[in-house]
Structure 1
Amino acid sequence: MGMLDILRAILWGPVRLLHGLGNLVLFPFLLQLPDLPTFTAQSRLINASDIAAQIRSRPPGSRLQFIRGTAPSNTIRTKDTSSHDHVHRVYLGPAKRILNIDTAERTVTCEPGVTMSELVEAVLPLGLVPPVVPEFKALTVGGLIAGAGLESSSFVQGQFCAALDSAKVVLADGRIVDCSREENEDLFWGMLGAYGTFGLLVSATLRLEEAKSGWVRVRYQPTQDIVDDIRAVCKEGSDDYVDGIAFGPTCGVIIRGSRSAAPPPPNARILHLSRASSPWFSKHIESALRIENATWSTPTLLQPIEEWLPYQDYLFRYDRGAYWMGKYALEILPFGYNLISRTLLAPLLTTEALYRRLHAAPEHIVESTLVIQDIYIPEEGAAEFMEFVGSGEAAEETQIYPLWLCPIKSTSNASKLSPNYVEEGNKFFINFGIWHHADHWTPGSPVPKATTRRLEQKAHEVGGRKMLYAQTYYTDEEWRSIYDMKWYAFAKSMWDPEGVFGDLRKKIGRG
Structure 2
Amino acid sequence: METHEAAVSVIAGRVRQFHNRQQPFRIYHGSTNSTRRSQYNRSNIIDTSGLTNVLHVDKEKRTALVEPNVPMDSLVGATLPFGLVPPVVMEFPGITSGGGFSGTSGESSSFKYGFFDRTVIRIQIVLPNGETVSASSTDKPDLFWGAAASFGTLGVITLLEIQLIEAKSHVELKYHRLGSMPQAVEKLQEESQRESNDYLDGIVFAKDWIVVCSGRLVESHGQEALVQRFTRRRDPWFYLHAKKLTSRPATSAPVTEIVPLVDYLFRYDRGGFWVGMYAFKYFVTPFNRITRGILDKFMHTRVMYHALHQSGLSKQYIIQDVAVPYPAADEFVEWLDSNVSLYPLWLCPLKQRGQRKDSPQGLLAEAANADAPEYLLNFGIWGPGRTDPQEFVDINRRLEQKVNSLGGNKWLYAHAYYTEDEFWSIFDRKAYDALRSKYGASYLPSIYDKVKVDFASDQKAIRESWLLWLVAIFWGIWPLQGLYGVYKAAIGGDYLLPKERIWKAQGAKED
Deviation at 1:335, TM superposition (A): 4.4
Matching residue of 1:192: 148
Percent identical across equivalent pairs?
33
Q: How does 1:76-475 map to 2 (within 5 A)?
A: 76-77=35-36, 87-211=43-167, 213-225=168-180, 226-263=184-221, 265=223, 268-290=225-247, 299=249, 303-362=253-312, 365-367=313-315, 369-390=316-337, 392=338, 394-395=339-340, 399-411=341-353, 413-418=359-364, 421-424=367-370, 427-437=374-384, 441-442=386-387, 444-475=388-419
The whole-number CA distance in structure 2 between the counterparts of 1:382 and 1:456 is 15
Matched, 1:74 2:20: no
**What pairs up with 1:5-16 in 2 under 5 angstroms?**
none
Q: Which amino acid aligns with 1:401?
A: Y
Q: Which position in structure 2 is the counterpart of 1:504?
A: 447
Given that 2:127 and 2:439 are in contact with CA atoms closer than 8 Å, whether structure 1 keeps it comes out as: yes
Quick one: structure 1 residues 116 and 46, their matched pair in 2 at CA, closer, same or farther if it must change by over 3 Å? farther
So what's the TM-score if we normalise by structure 1? Answer: 0.81
Q: State the Cα distance separating 1:62 from its structure 2 match.
A: 2.4
Give 1:495 deviation, angstroms.
1.1
Secondary structure, counterpart of 2:324 in structure 1 = strand
**Partner residue, 2:501:** none
Q: What's the secondary structure of 2:95's corresponding residue?
A: coil
What SS does the corresponding residue of 2:394 show, helix, strand or coil?
Answer: helix
Aligned to 1:296: none
Contact 2:27 2:46 in 1 (8 A): yes
Inter-partner Cα distance in structure 2 for 1:334 and 1:445:
23
Q: What secondary structure is seen at the aligned counterpart in 2 of 1:196? A: coil
- The 8 Å contact of residues 106 and 116 in structure 2, kept in 1 or not, is answered as yes
Q: Structure 1 residues 385 and 334, CA, compared in 2 at 3 Å: closer, same or farther?
A: closer
How far apart, CA to CA, are the structure 2 residues paired with 1:451 and 1:353? 28
Residue in structure 1 matching 2:23, options 42, 62, 76:
62
Q: How far did 1:414 drift?
A: 2.1
Q: 1:79 to 1:335 in 2, by over 3 A?
A: closer
Can you list the C-alpha shifts for 1:21-40, whole angstroms capped at 9, x where unaligned? xxxxxxxxxxxxxxxxxxxx
Matched AA of 2:374: K
1:283-333 Cα shifts (integer Å, max 9, x gaps): 111122227xxxxxxx46764211110010001111110000000011244
TM-score by length of 2: 0.81
User: 1:49 is matched by which residue type in structure 2?
Assistant: S
Distance 2:393 2:222 in 1: 47
Give the superposition deviation at 1:91.
3.0
CA root-mean-square deviation: 2.4
Alpha-carbon distance in 1 for matches of 2:376, 2:362: 16
Tell me which protein shows more helix as a share of its residues. Answer: 2
Separation of aligned partners in 1, 2:193 and 2:137: 29
Specify the code of the residue in structure 2 equivalent to 1:351. T
Give the total of aligned pairs: 442
Contact 1:400 1:436 (C-alpha < 8 Å) held by counterparts: yes
**What is the deviation of 1:206?**
0.5
Paired letter, 1:418: L
1-structure distance, mates of 2:188, 2:366: 18
Aligned to 2:428: 484
Looking at structure 2, the residues matched to 122 and 456 of structure 1 have their Cα atoms a distance apart, in angstroms, of 39
